[in-house]
Amino acid sequence: MATAATVHSHAPQGFIRKWIFSLDHKVIGIQYFFLALTAVFVGMFLSLLMRIHLIWPAAVLPLVGEIKPETYLSLLTMHGTIMVFFVLTTAPQGGFGNYFLPIQIGAPDMAFPVLNMLSFWTTFVGFVVIIAAFFVTGGAPLHGWTGYAPLSALPSAGPGELLGADLWITSIAIFCIASLMGALNFITTTLDLRAKGMTLMRMPLTVWSWFITAILGLLAFGVLLSAGILLLMDRNLGTSFYVPLVVVNGQVMGHKGGSPLLWQHLFWFFGHPEVYIAILPGMGVASQVLSTFSRKPIFGYRAMVYAMLSIGFFGFMVWGHHMFMSGMSPYSAFAFSILTMCIGVPSAIKTFNWLGTMWKGRLRFQTPMLYAIGFVSLFVSGGLSGPFLAQPVLDIQLHDTYFVVGHFHLIMGVAAIFGIFAATYYWFPKMFGRMMNEPLGKLHFFITLAGTYAIFMPMHYLGMAGQTRRYSQFTEVAYQTKLLPLQTFITYAAIITISAQLIFVINLFWSMFKGPKASDNPWEATTLEWTTATPPPHDNFGGVTPVVNHGPYEYGVPGAAKDYVMQTDPATVATH
Amino acid sequence: MGLALLVLIWLITLISTYFFVAKTWWLPVGAAASAGFIDRQFTLTFIIMGIVFLAAQLGLGYIVWKYKETPSSPPVSYSHGNTTLEIVWTVLTAVLFIGLNLMGSNVWASQRFPREPDPNDVKVEVTGMQFAWYFRYPGPDGKYGATSPKLMDPSAGGEAAVGLNTSDPAAKDDVVTGTMYLPVDREVDVSLRAVDVIHSFFVPSLRFKQDTVPGLNIHMHFRPTAIGEYEIACAELCGLGHYKMHGMVHVVSQEDFDKWLAAREAEKQ
């Protein structure tokens, strides 16, 4: 560690080495953050087009033109892929994890700075490749973000399945490689570079969440990478991993003996842990922020750590619950279903503990706290539809309906986004040296929370009534046409909520240049990033090596001079 | 701010709950033997999750209002948690979730587990292809004739679409239609196949859904219990025409079913 500190004690001076090909985890974190910000606006714009098309199918839009049924499917494929990979995986882990994990454990940088830089630029290339899919002949693929074979494996199965589909899977493969590099770095850094006194059980819950997420990433992305390479081979080299003998449009394809279910097993073996990759960092941030702004220690720190570990552990054993209707053995449904219910237990513990943290606290309602509270609310709402879908008999009715769309958007989409918002409002002062505007932040929160529920809660009603997902029109099935008024309501709610995100963008960029200067510890928080300068110097602690004497959430300690004890405060105050 | 949060969270909670409880949108009326159980299990799950939902959200709203910081707020209780409480809610949640889960196993087994073929079952084969459903009845011999991928011609429709090999003796009496007819109150032995990509045979009113997968022949059972016409909607993304891959199930009396099938057989001759 000492050598690492000496090597990086001098910040590079040139613009390119400092801001483009930087080895500084803080700069790389900011690069990830802006990549994810770009991606989220692309993804959100696609969802806006989808919502408009569902209600006004004949609309001819500026720039986009007419949206055909196959265009709609391309939109949903690209929306899902961009959001899951380049937003929900990139922002919480690559962005905030990169920036704050080393500082929160008292390290001068990541363990492998060059690998870190490489990981970002590989992700960037992946993003460029997926965007390119829009512009090639045939356009973007229409097989959904899950890319079920044979649809995704046969260029003749539909428009968009030509070069666009190759670019889609190539982009995902590139992303996997980048994530593997990132995961190695996070794990090594957490295990090897902790400051003196920073025992595992003194790590902030954010660090635990990034650490566990990295382990999940290491185990999951390797599988997706292999699965993707096999898919590319099926598409281009005539292999038959996923494709049996099939006839498309009267033409016998050249494949034989492959298994469409193999793709689903491999994909969901990655895909389910991916859900936790997206949401675990949000849980970490929510815990950190709730404790800070309740001025109270986190309720059940150890239970929180064990809950995250068991969520990560069980997360690898439940992939089959995506496949109850797939033709997989009906016996295995029992095992997957029980294990899925087991995951509800640590999730429930976390919720209880968040409520327990606020109970009898002194709550301060700055914007990060509002988003953490919103996170808890969304996590509860999205989580409670899980036990419906985890039961195979109920899945008969609910699988592939809007009920599922509502469920996963609440729990892993918007809840994770609320985690990202909480993190942005919470750490912005440390990252950019200025405060964000509070009234704008609060306005943004209230519209976004109400809007989110207005969009996604009605989807549960639609799903119960049997509305199937991934339909570009509801005119062909009589019982579904009756549900159009509710779909119209959702579209209006989406237009309002998406527009309200401009408030966030204005706040972000305005505050970056014009916001009031931030102090070193504006929230009176306890973890290591608040002990150093704002923004932190190149080696994070200005040549000092922090020594940790206390746990991460020591608020309201009896006998202390202030209502909080920082992790580096002298050991004279008794905490436990 | 605490009050504003309380109002927003409570409003969201109560409005969401209202539409569930009022059943403004709900499962379609069931017309199959499993519907009674599935709907009861759904309602039970709904009641339990609904109580947890209300308790958690209303509690969240109450806490943020009650414990907002004011100059007169008492000092916080310096507590790192309570192990007894943690154990209590862990055990409660585990028992509740897993118990709920075990209750559904019988219906799942009856619809999905393989069983000995019963000569009294009505046999139907469902074939999904971009973007149509075909239904095949084995005819008086009770045997499906051979099909071949090379013979498949979707543009011709009917038995050519599923690639029926008409030179096979067992295929002579096979009936292929674009609409599914079923006699009421008879067990249906359904075989599900797909020729190109994955589709999903979803009949909401019959509480039935199963993906049709190329390369697999999936056997399942269900029993329609009410005469009527029920819509089929493809539930697995299968390409640009996914949204219009629609079909109908006509559940009719045994007498009407026999008449219908005899008429189809007659057309073939």
CATH number reported for the structural domain that contains residue B248 in this entry: 2.60.40.420
What per-residue confidence (pLDDT) applies to A3? 42
Check CB contact under 8 Å for A399 and B49.
no
Closest chain B residue to A448, measured at CA: B8
Q: How confident is the model at residue A553 (pLDDT cuts 50, 70, 90)?
A: very high
Of B208, B214, B234, the CB nearest to A396: B208
User: Where in the sequence is the domain holding B55, given as residue range(s)?
Assistant: 2-69+82-111
Structural domain contains residue B74: no
The answer as to whether B129 is a domain residue is yes
Residues from chain B that touch A348, judged by Cβ atoms under 8 A, are 89-90, 93
Q: How far is CA B6 from CA A222, B3, B49, in A?
A: 45, 5, 21
Q: Tell me if B79 and A400 make a contact (CB, 8 A cut-off).
A: no
Mean pLDDT of A509-514: 97
In a domain, B77, yes or no: no
Mark whether B21 and B132 lie in a shared domain. no
Let me know whether B127 and B27 are in one domain: no
The alpha carbon of A444 is separated from its chain's Cα centroid by a whole number of angstroms, namely: 20
In a domain, B93, yes or no: yes
Q: Domain for residue B75, yes or no?
A: no
Confidence band of A5 (pLDDT split at 50, 70, 90)? very low
CA Rg, chain B, in Å? 26
Q: How confident is the model over A402-456, as pLDDT tens digits?
A: 999 999 999 999 999 999 999 999 999 999 999 999 999 999 999 999 999 999 9
Q: Residues B182, B198: one domain?
A: yes
Please check whether residues B37 and B126 belong to one and the same domain: no
A446, A478, A563: residue with CB nearest B8 = A446
Domains and CATH numbers, chain A: 31-258 (1.20.210.10), 323-513 (1.20.210.10), 515-576 (no CATH)
CB interface of A with B, residues 296-335, below 8 Å: 296-303, 325-327, 330-331, 333-334
List of residues 6+ apart from A523 with CB closer than 8 A: A292, A293, A366, A368, A426, A530
Q: What is the ipTM of this complex?
A: 0.96
Mean pLDDT, all residues of chain B: 93
Please write the tens of the pLDDT for every residue from A135-167.
999 899 999 999 999 999 999 998 889 999 999
Whether A528 shows a pLDDT value over 60: the answer reads yes
Interface contact A289, partner B, CB < 8 A: no
How many structural domains comprise chain B?
Answer: 2
Q: What values do phi and psi take at B156, rounded to 5?
A: -80, -25
Rounded to the nearest angstrom, the minimum Cα separation between B250 and chain A is: 15
Answer yes or no: do B253 and B130 share one domain.
yes
Mean pLDDT score, B119-123 = 93
Cβ <8 Å between A327 and B154: no
CA–CA gap between residue B114 and residue B106 (Å, rounded): 13
pLDDT confidence tier of residue B109, bands split at 50, 70 and 90: confident
Which of A423, A368, A421, A367 is CA-nearest to residue A209? A423
Residues B123 and B256 in one domain: yes
Q: Are residues B171 and B259 in the same domain?
A: yes
C-alpha distance from B254 to closest chain A C-alpha (Å): 26
All residues of chain B having their beta carbon less than 8 Å from the beta carbon of residue A331 are 113
Phi, psi at B219, each rounded to 5°: -100, 135
Chain B touched by A248 (CB under 8 Å):
yes
- Which pLDDT band, with edges at 50, 70 and 90, does A9 fall under? low
**Chain A residue nearest residue B41, CA to CA:** A394
Within 8 A by CB and 6+ apart from A116, the residues are: A23, A25, A28, A98, A110, A181, A182, A185
- Identify the weakest region by mean pLDDT among A347-356, A362-371, B93-102: B93-102
pLDDT level of residue A486 (50, 70, 90 thresholds): very high
Q: Which residue of B has its CA nearest to A142?
A: B239
Spatial CA neighbour of A364 closest among A525, A231, A223: A525
Mean pLDDT of A267-277: 96
B138 & B87 share domain = no
Q: What is the pTM of this model?
A: 0.96
Same domain, B165 and B97: no
Point out the residue among A148, A246, A557 whose CB comes nearest to the CB of B195.
Answer: A246
Look at residues A385, A393, A332 and name the one whose alpha carbon lies nearest to residue B105.
A393
pLDDT value for B58 = 97
Of A57, A61, A103, A76, whose CA–CA distance to A540 is shortest? Answer: A103
Q: Are residues B105 and B121 in the same domain?
A: no
Residues 59-88 of B with CB under 8 A from A: 59-60, 63-64, 67-69, 73, 75-82, 85-86
Query: Is residue B103 packed enough to be buried (19+ CB in 10 Å), middle (13-18) or exposed (0-12)?
Result: middle
Mean pLDDT of A254-263: 95
Q: Supply the pLDDT for residue A6.
A: 42
A83 against B108, higher pLDDT: A83
Which residue type is seen at A238? G
At A1, the pLDDT band (50, 70, 90 cuts) reads very low
Q: Is residue B54 part of a domain?
A: yes
Q: How far is A122 from chain B, CA to nearest CA, in Å?
A: 31
Tell me whether B108 touches chain A (CB under 8 Å). Answer: yes
Look at residues B92, B111, B130 and tell me which one is the last residue of a structural domain.
B111
Q: Residue range A393-408: average pLDDT?
A: 97
Residues B208 and B233 in one domain: yes
Q: What is the structure's pLDDT at B161? A: 92
Residues B153-199 have pLDDT tens digits of 988 888 999 999 999 999 999 999 999 999 999 999 999 999 999 99
> Considering the domain boundaries, does residue B76 fall inside one?
no
- The pLDDT confidence band at residue A576, using thresholds 50, 70 and 90, is low
Instruction: Look at B235 and A399 and tell me if their CB atoms are within 8 Å.
Output: yes
**What pLDDT, in 10s, does the model give residues B127-137?**
999 999 999 99
Contact A364 B69 (CB under 8 A): yes
pLDDT value for A45: 96
pLDDT above 70 covers a percentage of chain A that reads 98
Whether the pLDDT of residue A7 is over 60: the answer is no
Contact state of A359 with B107 under an 8 Å Cβ cutoff:
no
Greater confidence (A507 vs A160) lies with A507
pLDDT at residue A286 tops 50:
yes
Q: Please indicate whether, in this complex, the C-beta atoms of A327 and B216 are within 8 angstroms of each other.
A: yes
Residue B77 pLDDT class (50, 70, 90 cuts) = confident
For B231-252, what is the mean pLDDT?
97
DSSP state of A468: B
For A363, the 3-state DSSP assignment is strand
The CA distances from residue B243 to A52, A477, A485, B132, in Å, are 17, 8, 18, 11
Same domain, B18 and B121: no
Which of B197, B207, B245 to mutate against chain A (most A CBs within 10 Å)? B197
